Amino acid sequence: MLFPKPSDGAVLRGGAKLTMFSERIGGLDGHGQDHAPLYKQLQRALRDAIQKKILGPDDALPAERDMAEEFSISRITVRKALDGLVSEGLLTRRQGAGTFVAARVEKSFSKLTSFTEDMISRGRVPRSEWISKAVGAVTPEESLTLGLSPGTPVFRFARIRYADGAPMALEYSTVAGFALPSAEVVGVSLYEALEATGHRPGRALQRLRAVLFTAEQADLLGVPVKDAGLLIERRSFLPDGRAVEVTQSYYRGDAYDFVAELNALS
Ligand code: GLP
């Protein structure tokens, strides 16, 4: 075929100047036929384009007024859609330069998502390498954190988490025994396994602190010893208030940006 089809985003990627942005990422679902508000329809189109790699890391988005014109929606609607994706960490704004697809993995602090979901939504392929999978009795420290009585069974999972083949984090999870039938049911995603048994957490507390990687951690992550990392501890709960998981995640400091949206007290 001599000429690329206008709808084929991959073919047209290099020739962005000749191609309308709406042709690259696809139009909105159709003003009104879809019941989602227009800003959500635009968010969905952008999310899909990032996931399908039609838009790649550091790609610039057109100016808000140009997008408004192209999609026949108001600038306020475009801004609202972009604001949402910026606070989710999928897009970043650079002063004076515009809005770009986030290059580092930006992780929103206010969304209770799994590693697997975070990676897939950014068009990355998640993978885990198991360090260990075990069942045992709760330790005194875990029993305090998870609110379990001494002797209760728990599952312990230790994994190296990868995105597109690059190691991103080490994760050590303890999961309350009642939440899973066995350690073997956990494949790539712990949250998928918890969801399947009706024990996916609905709320979590997280604390974050800077760490220097030990020799063992650095080796597992393929970074220099004493490199800076982020330790995130997540304690998550079921809707009925029971704690279900405590995970210590050691993220590579150079791979992650954590993003939080803050609102002024009114
Ligand atoms: C994040 C959280 C962990 C959680 C994990 C589940 O990394 N920090 O607390 O256990 O997601 O991810 P997945 O379902 O991919 O195993």
In CATH terms, 9-101 corresponds, of 3.40.50.300, 3.20.20.80, 3.20.20.370, 1.10.10.10, to 1.10.10.10
For residues 162 and 46, what is the distance between their CA atoms, to the nearest angstrom? 24
User: Quick one: residue 253, left, alpha or beta (phi over 0 = left, psi -120 to 50 = alpha)?
Assistant: alpha
Pick from 185, 186, 134, 129: nearest CA to 155? 134
pTM: predicted TM-score of the whole model, two decimal places: 0.69
CATH class for the region spanning 107-256: alpha beta
Query: Could you give the residue range(s) of every CATH 3.40.1410.10 domain in the chain?
Result: 107-256
List, for residues 238-253, the tens digit of each pLDDT value.
999 999 999 999 999 8
In sequence order, the β-bridge partners of residue 91 are 101
pLDDT digits (tens, 9 = 90+) for 142-177: 999 999 998 899 999 999 999 888 899 999 999 999
According to the model, what pLDDT value does residue 69 have?
92
Mutation test of ligand 1: which of 115, 159, 173 has the most ligand atoms closer than 8 Å to its C-beta?
115
Residue in 159, 190, 236 to alter for ligand 1 test, most ligand atoms within 8 A of Cβ: 190
Q: How confident is the model at residue 6 (pLDDT cuts 50, 70, 90)?
A: very low
* Position 24 pLDDT exceeds 50: yes
CA-angle at 114, arms to 110 and 264, nearest 5°:
5
Contact 199, 180 (CB under 8 A): yes
Strands 105-108 and 256-259: parallel
Which regions of the chain carry the CATH code 1.10.10.10?
Answer: 9-101
